[in-house]
Amino acid sequence: MWYDEDSDDDEQKNIGPMNGKITEKNPNYEKKDKCKCTKGCSKRSCSCFKYGSGCNSSCGCGSSCQNMFNHLEYFFGENQKCTANPCFSKWLVKNVKNSDEFQMIDRNKLRRRIMKCPSYSNVLDDEDFEEWTEKWNTIDKNEKLSHTQELFRMLLSNDTTMYYYSFCENDVFEEDCNWHCIICQKCMDWREWHCDKCNKCTYGVSLPCERCGGKSEVSGFF
């Protein structure tokens, strides 16, 4: 009888408690409209804080709220309703304890760090960044801060362009090619997906989870 040894090996590799079941769940899309905190909001247990956004009037925290992401105007400018992207959120939590310490972050130094990263020159082909650069080279010194904040909105917030700056990798990525997992707390390749069963990311959208055998939502297309 003919025996396909390679095929049998492949099947053994796919065996696991969740073999064949869809276990993918992107934690970055689980944000609730409001938190249910009764005080504080200074830790990741607060659903707003966890996603790098400020609390609002419908949240349960009220006047006791200490969510530092209520005060991102230092980076994004006054009257700009922006939320920090997941990688920027992680970096802020690592470097400051509260919004008062935002002042310790040198915005010019942060801007230079972004502009000197390996792939920054690639984004200059984008119309928005080309326009930003042309203006940067001509504006007066007193306009530099607001223009720096515009760059931050473009690369550090969730709200503007198809690119983001990765503090994990010190580089600029397209959001279609890389993403930052708020559970694993690092930037991932687009081919990596988060297994809800294992609560960890695993490589290969067409491959089963290396730990439990679960599948990504798009695995059936390959």
Assigned domain for 108 exists: yes
Q: How many domains is the chain partitioned into structurally? A: 2
Assigned domain for 162 exists: yes
> Are residues 41 and 96 both part of a single domain?
no
Give the chain's mean pLDDT. Answer: 87
Q: Three-class SS string for 178-196? A: EEEECCCCEEEECCEEEEC
Assigned domain for 137 exists: yes
pLDDT digits (tens, 9 = 90+) for 92-140: 999 998 899 999 999 999 999 999 999 999 999 999 999 999 999 999 9
> Are residues 52 and 90 both part of a single domain?
no
> Are residues 94 and 160 both part of a single domain?
yes
Assigned domain for 154 exists: yes
The 3-state DSSP class for residue 143 equals helix
Assigned domain for 91 exists: yes
Query: In the prediction, which pLDDT does 15 show?
Result: 58
76: left (phi over 0), alpha (psi -120 to 50) or beta: alpha
Distance between alpha carbon 67 and the CA centroid of its chain, in Å? 18
Check pLDDT > 60 for residue 13.
Answer: no
Show the domain range for 50.
Answer: 30-56+64-70
pLDDT digits (tens, 9 = 90+) for 33-65: 788 888 778 676 788 888 888 888 888 888 888
> Are residues 52 and 91 both part of a single domain?
no
> Are residues 46 and 97 both part of a single domain?
no
